[in-house]
Structure 1
Amino acid sequence: MIRLEHVTKRYSPERTSVEDLTIDIKEGTTAALIGPSGCGKTTVLRMINRLLDPTSGRILVDGKDVATVDPVSLRRHIGYVIQNIGLFPHLTIEENIAAVPRLLGWDNWKIKQRTEELLHLVGLEANELLQRYPKQLSGGQRQRIGVARALAADPPILLMDEPFGAIDPIARTRLQDEFKHILAKVRKTVVLVTHDIDEALKLGDTLAIMRDGRLVQHATPKVVLQQPSDAFVNDFIGADHAIRRLELFKVSDVMSGPSRTSATAEIEEGQTLHRALAMMISLNVDCLSVVDRAGSIIGTITRDTIFSA
C-alpha cells in the first residue's frame, strides 16, 4: 500500500507543485493520476521513489516512511516506466532488462530465465530481440521492453509516467490491452500518470483527478463518471461521459450466445462496450461476433445489447 499524508512540494514561495495531498493507493490496484498539464502528477510520482523529496508531509510504502529508506535501495524495488522509455542505447535488449537483477546480484541462469519469461509476457519473441539494440526496434517494441525492464526484478510497485503517450494511436491501444493482460497475471500496485481520460478509465481501478497541485476527486471510474465531485471534474471527463461509461463494461459482460446469422466482423471478449460501439459505427454494422483470445467465436453482441446495458 502507498499512502501520501498531507504532502506538499514547494519549489519557491511563488511556485507550489503539490499542495496538501493525502491519498491511499491500495495494494494490488492501479491508481491513475490524471489532470491538466502542470497539475503536479509527475511530481507525485517522483516523490514516491525519492527522485524528489516533499517540502512537508510524508510518504509511506507498506507502512514505512520512504524518507527513512536509502533511495537507491528503494528504487531497486520500484519499477519505473517513462514516456521516452529510457532504455540504455549502448546495451542490448537482454542487458537492458537484466540491469536491475544484476545490481541485485542474481546469477546468470536466473537472469536469462527471467528475461525470456518477460519478453514472452509482453508479447515479444526472445530469440529475435535479445541481442538487438534499442535503435533497431520500433517504438512499440521499445515501450514493451521498457515495461519488461521495469518488471525484471519483480518489484511490488510500478510507477508509470505517460508510458504510452509517444506512440501512435493504434499501437497505443494494443499496448494498453497488453498491459491489462499483464496486470491480470502479475499482482502489482501501479501508479499511472496520464492526461488521457480514456486511458485512465481503461487502466485505472481508481482515478485521482488533480488540479493546481490539489486532489479534486479520488474514486472508482464508475463513481467519477456518475458523481463528479464538482464542475471542474464534470468538464474534465467531458460532456460525453455517458458514452465514456461504456468503458466500464466488457463485451463478455453482456454478450449473448453465438448467432445463427454470421456477423461480418469480430471483437475480442475482453474489449469494452465503447470499443464495440465504435467498431459498429465505423463498419456500419449492427452485430459483431465475439471471440476469445484464441480466435474462437463464443458469442454475439448487437447495438441493441449495448444500448440496453
Structure 2
Amino acid sequence: MSVKDNKTFFLLVENFKEMEEWINVLSLKMQRLIENPQNHGLKNTKASSDNKRPLTFQQDNDMEIVDFEGEGEERKADEKTRLINEEVKQMVNQNICADCKNPFPEWFSLNLGVLICITCSGHHRGLSTDVSRVRSLTLDLQTMNTLRFLTSVINNEINYKVFEAKKSSVEKDRKKSSMKDFIKNKYEKRKFCQGIPSSSKKQDDLIKICIKAIEEDDLTKIYPIVCFGIVNTNHFFEYKTKGIKEKITLLHLAVSAGSKDIISLLMHNSADPSLKNSSGMSPEDLALIENKIEILE
C-alpha cells in the first residue's frame, strides 16, 4: 500500500478474514476523504448541506476519522478502538520486557502472550513461527480478545511460572549468554521450564489435563500444553454435560465454562471457533445462546 511522502507500507495478516477487515477499514477511510476533501484535517462539527446530518471530525494519531451521527455500529467500533489504544498505552507504560527486563515493551508474541522490547522482538523473529509470532502493540490492529490474552498472561505471571520456572538456571544463563541465545534457550529449547507434560503422551491424557484446568479455570496449568503445541486444540473428545455425552473440543468446553482467559489462549493457538460438536453447535453458537459472544471477540 503506497501513501504520500513516498512511503510504502506492507500489511501482513494471519488469515483471509483479517485481510477483509483491514481492506474494509482502509476503503472506508479513503471513501470518506474523497467525499469530504475540504474537511480533511478539521476538528469540529459541521452540518452537511447534502444530507443535513452532522459530521464529527477528530484528530487521532495523525489520522482524521469522520463519523456520521446515527451510525451506531461505526461509533461503537471507534469507541472500541479508542479503548484498545488506551489499554495498549497503559500496557506499554506499566510493564517491562519479559526477556531483558527493559521498560516500555512495545512488541509482543501473539501465541505466547509475552510483552517484549524492540531488540528482543528481533530475536523472537529468529525463532520459527511455531515458537513465537511477533506483533507490534502500537502499530498492529488489536482486538479485545488479544488484549485480554496479554493481560491474563501478565496477571498470572506466566512468563516466570512457565518459561523461567528454574530461577537459578535462568539467571546463570542470562549472565553468560547473549540475549539471542538466552531467548532461544528459553522459548525454543525450554531449558528453564519444569513439569511440562511430554509430547509423547496420548492426546486423551493431555485432554484430561486440559479439561481439569478449564473446570478449575487454571490458565497456568493449561498454558504450556496449548502454546507449546503439545495438545491438538481442535481434537474432539467425549464430555458429559447435564447427563448427556457429547463430542466437543476444548473451546466448546471453555465457552460453556465462561473461562475468558483460557478461551483467549486457545483462540491464539489455532482453536477453531466454527467447529461443530456432536449436537451441531459451534463454540460461536454456544456463546450466542448463552449471551457470552463478547468472550470470543
Fold-level match, TM-score > 0.5? no
State TM-score, norm by structure 1: 0.25
Query: Which structure is richer in relative contact order (CA contacts within 8 A, separation 6 or more)?
Result: 1
Kindly indicate which of the two structures has a greater share of residues assigned to helix: 2
